[in-house]
Amino acid sequence: MADKARLSLNQITTANWSVAEAVEGCVRHGVRSIALWRHKIEEAGLSACVRAVSHDGLHVSSVCRGGMFPGPTEAERRRNIEDNFRAVDEAAALHADSLVMVVGGCAGVPLEDARKMVADGVSELVPYALERGVRIGLEPLHPMFAADRSVLVTIDQALELAQAHDAREVGVILDTFHIWWDPRVEELIARAAGRILGFHVSDWLNPLPDVLLGRGLMGDGVIDNRKLRRLVEQAGYHGPIEVEIFNRALWDSDADTVLAQVIERFEQFV
Amino acid sequence: MADKARLSLNQITTANWSVAEAVEGCVRHGVRSIALWRHKIEEAGLSACVRAVSHDGLHVSSVCRGGMFPGPTEAERRRNIEDNFRAVDEAAALHADSLVMVVGGCAGVPLEDARKMVADGVSELVPYALERGVRIGLEPLHPMFAADRSVLVTIDQALELAQAHDAREVGVILDTFHIWWDPRVEELIARAAGRILGFHVSDWLNPLPDVLLGRGLMGDGVIDNRKLRRLVEQAGYHGPIEVEIFNRALWDSDADTVLAQVIERFEQFV
């Protein structure tokens, strides 16, 4: 059983909560880590967020998210990079373990070009992040997001991109929803040793209710989260485990009840 | 530009047509090959289908589909195998280039077990197919179908499964909708040389309207079908190219108009 002390509430799971409410929720339920989303940070103001997490001694496992590098024009790509600099600033202020990268899809630019723009964008971000002590976590997303969210879709592809940089600077984020289907998942997680900066869990419901908002609570779908957690531990990762569930029905429920369920399922299935 | 002579109408693209109507449609539009679905064969009766295609000199590029091997009980798996024997009989009677396998998902059985059941099922099917001169085409599906339709999700995984058998007996079916996202697609198509039994095209719309019924006409999405067609040709495949589009809006349209569009898009984008 995964130790509850490792559970981190990814804020999107309780999307109706503000940062302050999510922090209070974590304290109330004995959850020691949290992952914050940038649109929520913006709503609350960065310094208020910094005060909230430090007042309650919460650890920030990640800031979600930088990335979205591809763009059809140079001007657009510059704006994306500038926005990533701000994301690094936020991750630095919050002492987050990493800044999660959802690198962007290929809609609007040819696939090969999009991949190149991602590699270039990461390379431009790394020195800025290094100066501020922020680690970049490249998250391969499920291949069904290749058009709209991430041309980075497999662990080995993320590792290849990461390995152009120092392991202390750029690593990978492994999310069971995104990687569970891969026939090489065991081998690839082992190969990621030394580069794993984060681990996320949820479940794949069958049938899938929605591409974006259809993730399930652990135990409700087909993913063997416990097995994947063990593989990630064998590869040397023993940090926070984020529960990150995009699910419309959960968002429409009482967030306090959802967090209680999250903890129960975490202990039962992770 | 792909030669129209290579175009094969996968019957699901014009799902409202019976086999007879689809055959007549092909003749009317100068399409020389067709792929038939088993529920349509059943509706029409196998011998009527054989007469229809042979009367009009149509080539049958494939029969869709066998597979669906995993099952929670031995009895269920036996029924699946028996059903696959019937699928082989149909492919044999129609002189189809191959019987396409959608191998089945992992809902109901653990993922590793499902993969094993697939390998066992294929092994059991091969001698029966060999005796009847039918080739087995293993189709890797997009990873978003791993739970409900196919634990076979990448080209290398399909090749590994195929390579347990003679290349004249078991090969792979490459469908651009299922493989376009793969960062290793060039290398993997090259590796498939000598094992490619079929090639399917459609497009990935963005946003994706529906997981199952949201495929687009070539040119409406992000897939570079022409590039993938060339890669498949470089790997030695010069057979029929099936246009296989699961799309609710197309199904609700006049099938004759749809087929005309298919031909136009085939010549423009494949």
pLDDT in tens, A243-253: 999 999 999 99
Residue A153 DSSP class: -
Would you call A224 and B110 a contact, using CB atoms and an 8 Å cutoff? yes
Please say whether the beta carbons of B201 and B153 come within 8 A. no
Which sign does the torsion angle of CA B107, B110, B113, B115 carry? positive
Distance CA B173, CA B136 (A): 9
pLDDT at residue B245 in the model: 98
Mean pLDDT of B84-95: 98
The interface predicted TM-score (ipTM) is 0.97
Delimit the domains of chain A by residue range.
4-269
For B4-269, give the CATH class: alpha beta
Q: How many CB atoms lie within 10 A of CB A68?
A: 21
Distance CA A267, CA A270 (A): 6
Mean pLDDT of A215-242: 98
pLDDT by residue (tens digit) across B100-130?
999 999 989 999 999 999 999 999 999 999 9
**Which residues are B7's β-sheet partners?**
B241
| Cβ–Cβ pairs < 8 A, chains A and B | 76
**pLDDT band for position B178 (cuts 50, 70, 90):** very high
Would you call B153 and A181 a contact, using CB atoms and an 8 Å cutoff? yes
Q: Is residue A1 scored above 90 in pLDDT?
A: no
Q: Is residue A22 scored above 90 in pLDDT?
A: yes
Please give the model's pTM, rounded to 2 decimal places: 0.97
Q: Which residues fall within 8 angstroms of residue B89, CB to CB, at 6 or more apart?
A: B46, B132
Average pLDDT, chain B: 97
Q: Is residue B139 scored above 90 in pLDDT?
A: yes
Reading the block at residue B221, the tokens are 């999405």
DSSP letters, A81-133, are HHHHHHHHHHHHHTT-SEEEEE-B--TTS-HHHHHHHHHHHHHHHHHHHHHTT
pLDDT at residue A236 in the model: 98
Which of B146, B156, B181 is nearest residue A181 as measured by Cβ atoms?
B146
pLDDT at residue B60 in the model: 98
- Interfacial residues of A (vs B; Cβ cutoff 8 Å): 105-107, 110-111, 115, 142-144, 146-148, 153-154, 156-157, 180-183, 204, 206-208, 211, 221-222, 224
Mean pLDDT of A70-95: 97
Helix (H) or strand (E) holding A42: helix A38-44
Q: Percent of chain A, pLDDT > 90?
A: 98
Looking at the complex, report in whole angstroms how far the Cα of residue B52 sits from the nearest Cα belonging to chain A.
37
**pLDDT band for position A39 (cuts 50, 70, 90):** very high
Would you call A105 and B206 a contact, using CB atoms and an 8 Å cutoff? yes
pLDDT by residue (tens digit) across A53-73?
999 999 999 999 999 999 999
pLDDT at residue B1 in the model: 84
* Burial B17-28, CB ≥16 within 10 A → b, else e: bbbebbbebbbe
Please say whether the beta carbons of A122 and A77 come within 8 A. no
* Burial B194-210, CB ≥16 within 10 A → b, else e: ebbbbbbbbbbbbebee
Q: Residues of B with CB below 8 A from A186's CB?
A: none
Which sign does the torsion angle of CA A107, A111, A112, A115 carry? positive
Mean pLDDT of B52-69: 97
